[in-house]
A and B are shown apart, each in its own frame.
Chain A
Amino acid sequence: MVKSWFNKILPSLGKQHKEEKKSPVPQGLWQTCSNCKEILYGPDLEANMYVCPNCGHHIRIGARHRISYLIDHDEYKEISSELKTKDWLSFTDTKKYKERLSDAKTNIDETEALISVHGKLNDKDVVLSVFEFRFLGGSMGSVVGQKFVDAVEFAIEKSCPFICVATSGGARMQESLFSLFQMSRTSAALNKLKSKKLPFISVLTDPIYGGVAASLAMLGDINIAEPKAQVGFAGPRVIEDTVRVKLPEGFQRSEFLLKHGMIDMIVQRSHMKDKISGLISKLHTG
């Protein structure tokens, strides 16, 4: 008893490392909900899949957490994890793109903004791609595009459904047209998946904008959003600057998308795995 309590507040170094890789929120015993500002007990929040027990706010989480919530026993094989960007443009803004990449790698211990895995979801074989927002805003460059396409191709090879959990600021500016063309690339791969009658479940999580919204994210056979996720083509600031009116309350949120016919359903994080599993059991009977 004492030992388990001790482990709770003083996890072993190795475990802490894994937790850091998983969690987007500062590790601490007490955390504040970014929505209702309620002070929450860390382990309770984690047990609640980072959904605020007070207001139901779905706190942004990292890709590894997502995978652990969807893949049985958190056991999976990663696809194309070794790919690296070639900075063909030698892009430099206030900082070199190469430095931005290596900083991101160091800071969050991931190699890119997308992780693709093969594993089981409620005992069914699936391929899952998950965006990591903490890696350069989850932006889509060549490697993200390639890892996505490789995952789709892998699903075709294994004849299993494909799921993507997106969260992204859009196409990665630093790779310019290379990034833009990842939109057609990922869309073409999904078109091929469809021709093989394999379902694509697109899970929309806060936030998704630009080139990722206007390609893979909106192409699900089923589009599912977490509550209150912000999803749109143009960012609210750009729209406000263009049309010079105040944007309506809840603009571009999941509930807005549902009302305007852009998504099939809104599903709570805690129900997501079972919902996906149920949908797959109807679309993929082979």
Chain B
Amino acid sequence: MAYTYLEFEKPISDLENKIESLRDNKDNDESVHQEISSLSDKIENLTKEIYEGLSIWQKVQVARHPHRPHFSDYIENIFTDFDELHGDRLFGDDQAIIGGLAKFKGNPVVIIGHEKGKSTEDKISRNFGMSQPEGYRKASRLMKLAEDFSLPIITFIDTPGAYPGIESEERGMSEAIAKNLSIMSGLKVPIIVIITGEGGSGGALAIGVGDHISMLQYSIYSVASPEACASIVWRDNSKAQEAAEAMKLDAKNLLDFGLIDNVIDEPLGGAHRDTKKASSLIAKEIDDNLKRLKEIGIDELIEKRYQKIMSYGSIQK
């Protein structure tokens, strides 16, 4: 797949193109090498400069970048010995949420996450990461399995939102999400939540209640997608950019509000530039926090989780 540059990355892509054309040049002498090397330095500085000054809307675009690593990439790079477990035992197997047993640094864990899909066919079969009720019910089944066998849970969030369809309503989307929120608040195992891309609304939160919540640097998390918020509040979904800015949905702002616990830095130019490095940074976050959470007794863990959930609010003291 050809690399996709975002609009604000145009200066970077111009330099990359320059390098490409120099490489194609037949007379490959020392001066060309030097020029390539100086252009590469320029790219690095420029990328740094651009990414340090990203606006909220630009972060939304990075979070939705077509090359952004997906849950399947993180499974491959962070965990070993993954056994995917299928189905909700009630109706079907939703491919927009996948999960199963895996090993993290040799120890068994349960992992669950949204998967948007890569190829067109894959994206369609995964409904672009928009789950039906079955996805959330599969997730809750796997969480119960984790509890039964005392395994920690790690969830990866990347969804535009739960799927708005006729069948979703017939099969109780509201109940499926609500039930997960209730169950996760009292699960007797540690839960680590990582928002890797889009944290879209109730469809994200439905696997997002836990003891430690982190966001990748350029991921987003909000009550509704910018487009949905714009359509509700401005009655005009072309105001998505304004909605995104107003919701302050980026990791840094949400950390400042105390709504998440940590921001995981991304490699220069975003996670999609270096999936392996992004994976190792996530792995470190998981490792640090699993160690910490495992030290806490179960009753205390659940009480702390309850207090944490109760602390979320914007109220005048």
Contacts and interface: CB of A to CB of B under 8 A. Distances in A.
Nearest to B256: A88
Contacts of A217: 174, 178
B314 A93 contact: no
Interface in A167-208: 171-185, 187-192, 194-195
B314 A190 contact: no
B5 interface: no
Given A173-B229, A245-B166, A262-B172, A185 B310 contact: yes
Contacts of B306: 188, 192
22 contacts: A89-B247, A143-B315, A177-B222, A177-B223, A177-B249, A178-B313, A180-B205, A180-B223, A181-B313, A184-B184, A187-B181, A214-B162, A215-B202, A218-B178, A219-B179, A231-B174, A232-B173, A233-B177, A235-B164, A239-B164, A248-B166, A262-B174
B224 interface: yes
A195 B172 contact: no
Contacts of B233: 93-94, 173-174
Nearest to B249: A176
A73 B203 CA distance: 42
Contacts of B257: 88, 177-178
A87 interface: yes
A143 B170 CA distance: 31
Nearest to A83: B315
B246 A233 contact: no
Contacts of B65: none
A149 B310 contact: yes
Interface string A210-241: 11011111110000000000011111001100
B282 interface: no
Q: Is the interface of A mostly helix, strand, loop or mixed?
A: helix
Contacts of B170: 256, 260
A184 B314 contact: no
B238 to A, nearest CB: 14
Contacts of B183: 191
B283 interface: no
Interface string A84-118: 11111101111000000000000000000000000
A217 B168 CA distance: 17
Contact of B174 (A89, A141, A214, A248): A214
A1 interface: no
A94 B306 CA distance: 36
B293 interface: no
Contacts of A233: 162, 164, 168-169, 173-174, 177, 202
Contacts of B224: 171, 173
Q: Is the interface of B mostly helix, strand, loop or mixed?
A: helix
B248 interface: yes
B314 A187 contact: no
A215 B254 contact: no
Interface in B36-61: none
B246 to A, nearest CB: 5
A30 interface: no
B237 to A, nearest CB: 10
Contact of A261 (B172, B184, B259, B312): B172
Contact of B314 (A94, A149, A178, A192): A178
Contacts of B174: 213-214, 217-218, 231-233, 262
A251 interface: yes
B313 A91 contact: no
A191 B186 contact: yes
A183 B202 contact: yes
Q: From B185, B248, B312, B313, name the one whose CB has the most chain A CB atoms within 10 angstroms.
A: B313
B181 A188 contact: yes
Nearest to A94: B234
Given A183-B202, A214-B177, A219 B182 contact: yes
B316 A84 contact: yes
A252 interface: yes
Contacts of A146: 313, 315
B223 A185 contact: no
B247 A211 contact: no
